[in-house]
């Protein structure tokens, strides 16, 4: 893919982008505001720009006059970049140069932190929990009457230094015939003990040499989505992966409604069956995708939050949602996958990530393992943001964790036009500080239907930065625009007029929406702060932030800090781990060392109940401001606001 330079005039701002990118997205990325109401579908006609040099394709809309077209005007949202370009933003659709200088900060999402497989190998941490060993056994004769299993076990002991082996009855049953059919040339699959002093078990015996075919499955059971990966234990490669909605969704959107359903007659059995069905669907899919034989799968590792874990194991979660909120167990023993209803061979044992508490579950423990937090020197804040936010603070020496209910605002819930990040969701935004006209960019470049979580953060941050809303999230009353209006006693900003939307109404952001967002971010921020205080530390001590979960991949970090969702820290110290739970599950599948560490790490994670920590409520109330009551906690934001105020006065 070619990359081209695009220079935006009159601001003389240059950016290098991929060919085929739309001009409007390039402008947003360059920090250049272009009025745009319809999200990029080309219907509002507001984003006309003049292509002075170079070639674009498209953008010749009927919304432009013949003269404009002739002059080189194009709709920025429809024109895609086909060469180096110089593009001029018309004066009427942008503010003056000086104002623009600070208007749109470049979007910066978190750097993706990936598991470094090579590093894992180098550190000796790549010791798959199951190993295949090919054996050419001596055959019994008149002088050698060793029983079949003893023959196998002794040979492994003498030739391969594998001591103290246990053999499953199921394997014992298959040994005599397989050995003789294969002329005593067989492959044994050994499952390493999780405990150091435990015994290794022979879980499978196959004719001939099958050592090249040794696979594992890693799974993350999310409340919404279940993901599975098929892993090659010889190389560490992901051979296939697949995600699907958790079939339990029809029985409730969040963990609480699921627990309520599970308490009904037959409810637990139903939810259990449904999630097992989802898992089996995914397992079938990745086996098919990878074109492997299910008989060569040796293990499955599973991470999930506490409620999902209990439902998947058919352990009644009723006490999770009742004070004092205790889960049934932290550690679960290794369990035959078959016994759980998973459509895997008898040889497969399921390893389930342990839980810390009712609301800090195996997904978080897995994330801590997957992100390497438990081996970090730097003080790290691990943050998994969703309806509930899970917070871990610590490093290799200690870890404190807590969960707080953020409410659904960050996922679009409780926001009048909130929606998931699907087509038509406003995902990026800027504003003309003079005309207060918006620049909406939507998922899929179509007319807006609503606002997704990451878009919401940007919109609120931008409105706040421009003084359109104050630190309480209230609209300034002295702004001269019909985009800000009162409806049913509530002030709101019209992001898109009805004609520019896909729906039969204006898409707006109300003060109530803003309040909900502030509550959500306040809960998360004060959760982090309280947890830090509980261990005698402060925000300034944080050296690294790891974001996990779907939320972290799209959120603009500076905007998130601007509204006070994330503590202020240099942006390059924030990384994004993606599905930390799945990554942790993968790590355990690939490394028995990791498995061995999990128990100790889980015990190390001291859990705090924020609702019972008196300072939490104070911290929460102090955090119900943009970015915070105490601006000294956000020196960079404070400076920017001060500069802007100085500028506008």
Contact residues: its own copies, CB under 8 A: 140-151, 166-169, 172-173, 175-177, 180, 195, 197, 199, 313-316, 318-319, 323-333, 335, 339, 355, 357-358, 607, 609, 612
Contact 99, 466 (CB under 8 A): no
Distance from C-alpha of 200 to C-alpha of 210, rounded to nearest angstrom: 19
Identity of the residue, 333 or 489, whose beta carbon is nearer to its own copies in the bound complex: 333
Identity of the residue, 350 or 496, whose beta carbon is nearer to its own copies in the bound complex: 350
Contact 91, 61 (CB under 8 A): no
Closest approach, Cβ 610 to its own copies, in A, equals 12
What residue has token string 């924020």? 610
Identity of the residue, 196 or 480, whose beta carbon is nearer to its own copies in the bound complex: 196
Closest approach, Cβ 360 to its own copies, in A, equals 11
Closest approach, Cβ 168 to its own copies, in A, equals 7
In degrees and rounded to multiples of 5, residue 546 shows phi and psi of -115, 120
Contact 85, 54 (CB under 8 A): yes
Per DSSP, what are the bridge partners of residue 299? 216, 349
Contact 110, 544 (CB under 8 A): no
Q: Structure tokens of 44?
A: 């509002």
Identity of the residue, 93 or 299, whose beta carbon is nearer to its own copies in the bound complex: 299
> In angstroms, how far is the first alpha carbon of the chain from the final one?
46
DSSP code at position 444:
T
Closest approach, Cβ 324 to its own copies, in A, equals 5
Q: In what order do the strands lie in the sheet with 335-336?
A: 238-245, 225-232, 215-221, 297-304, 349-352, 335-336
Closest approach, Cβ 589 to its own copies, in A, equals 20
Closest approach, Cβ 249 to its own copies, in A, equals 24
Closest approach, Cβ 316 to its own copies, in A, equals 6
Distance from C-alpha of 30 to C-alpha of 642, rounded to nearest angstrom: 23
Contact 601, 571 (CB under 8 A): no
* C-alpha triplet 300, 581, 249: angle, nearest 5°: 90
Closest approach, Cβ 76 to its own copies, in A, equals 55
Peptide bond into 35 cis (omega under 30): no
Identity of the residue, 144 or 480, whose beta carbon is nearer to its own copies in the bound complex: 144
Identity of the residue, 151 or 586, whose beta carbon is nearer to its own copies in the bound complex: 151
Identity of the residue, 141 or 478, whose beta carbon is nearer to its own copies in the bound complex: 141
Identity of the residue, 125 or 149, whose beta carbon is nearer to its own copies in the bound complex: 149
């Amino acid at each position: 893919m070619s990359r081209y330079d695009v220079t935006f005039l009159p601001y003389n701002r240059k950016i290098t982008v991929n060919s085929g990118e739309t001009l409007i997205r390039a402008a947003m990325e360059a920090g250049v505001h272009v009025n745009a109401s319809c999200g990029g579908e080309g219907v509002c006609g507001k984003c006309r720009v003049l292509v002075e040099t170079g070639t674009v394709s498209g953008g010749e809309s009927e919304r432009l006059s013949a003269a404009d077209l002739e002059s080189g005007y194009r709709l920025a949202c429809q024109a895609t970049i086909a060469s180096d370009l110089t593009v001029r933003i018309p004066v009427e659709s942008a503010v003056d140069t000086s104002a623009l200088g600070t208007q749109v900060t470049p979007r910066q999402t978190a750097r993706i932190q990936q598991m470094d497989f090579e590093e894992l190998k180098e550190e000796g941490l790549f010791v798959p929990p199951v190993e295949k060993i090919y054996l050419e056994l001596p055959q019994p004769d008149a002088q050698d009457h060793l029983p079949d299993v003893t023959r196998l076990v002794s040979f492994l002991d003498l030739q391969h230094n594998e001591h103290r082996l246990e053999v499953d009855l199921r394997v014992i049953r298959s040994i005599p015939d397989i050995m003789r059919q294969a002329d005593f040339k067989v492959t044994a699959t050994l499952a390493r003990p999780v405990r150091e002093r435990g015994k290794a078990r022979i879980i499978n015996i196959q004719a001939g040499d099958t050592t090249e075919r040794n696979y594992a499955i890693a799974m993350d059971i999310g409340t919404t989505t279940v993901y599975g990966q098929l892993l090659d234990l010889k190389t560490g490669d992901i051979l296939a992966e697949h995600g699907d909605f958790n079939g339990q969704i029809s029985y409730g959107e969040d963990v609480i409604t699921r627990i309520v359903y599970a308490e009904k007659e037959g409810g637990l059995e139903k939810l259990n069956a449904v999630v097992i069905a989802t898992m089996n669907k995914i397992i079938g899919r990745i086996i098919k995708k990878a074109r492997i034989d299910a008989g060569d799968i040796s293990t499955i590792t599973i991470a999930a939050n506490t409620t999902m874990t209990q439902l998947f194991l058919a352990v009644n979660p009723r006490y999770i949602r009742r004070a004092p909120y205790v889960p049934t167990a932290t550690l679960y023993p290794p369990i035959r996958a078959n016994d759980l209803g998973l459509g895997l061979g008898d040889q497969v044992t399921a390893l389930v990530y342990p839980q810390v508490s009712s609301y800090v579950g195996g997904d978080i423990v897995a994330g801590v393992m997957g992100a390497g937090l438990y081996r970090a020197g730097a003080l790290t804040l691990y943050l998994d943001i969703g309806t509930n936010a899970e917070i871990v603070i610590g490093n290799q020496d200690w870890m404190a964790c807590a969960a707080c209910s953020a409410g659904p605002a960050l996922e679009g819930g409780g926001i009048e036009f909130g929606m998931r990040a699907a087509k038509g969701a406003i995902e990026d935004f800027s504003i003309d500080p003079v005309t207060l006209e918006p620049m909406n960019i939507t998922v899929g470049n179509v007319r807006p239907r609503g606002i997704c979580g990451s878009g919401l953060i940007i919109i609120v941050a931008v409105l706040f930065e421009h003084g359109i809303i104050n630190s309480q999230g209230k609209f300034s009353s002295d702004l001269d625009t019909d985009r800000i209006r009162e409806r049913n006693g509530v002030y709101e900003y019209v992001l898109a007029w009805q004609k520019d939307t896909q729906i039969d109404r204006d898409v707006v952001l109300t003060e109530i929406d803003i309040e909900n967002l502030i509550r959500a971010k306040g809960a998360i921020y004060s959760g982090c702060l309280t947890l830090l205080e509980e261990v005698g530390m402060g925000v300034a001590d944080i050296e690294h932030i790891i974001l996990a979960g779907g939320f972290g991949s799209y959120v603009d970090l500076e905007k998130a800090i601007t509204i006070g969702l994330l503590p202020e820290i240099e942006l390059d110290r924030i990384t994004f781990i993606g599905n930390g739970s799945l990554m942790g599950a993968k790590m355990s599948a690939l490394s028995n060392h990791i498995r061995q560490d999990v128990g100790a790490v889980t015990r190390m994670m001291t859990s705090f109940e924020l609702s019972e920590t008196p300072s939490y409520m104070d911290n929460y109330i102090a955090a119900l401001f943009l970015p915070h009551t105490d601006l000294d906690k956000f020196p960079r934001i404070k400076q920017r606001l001060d500069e802007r105020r100085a500028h506008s006065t």
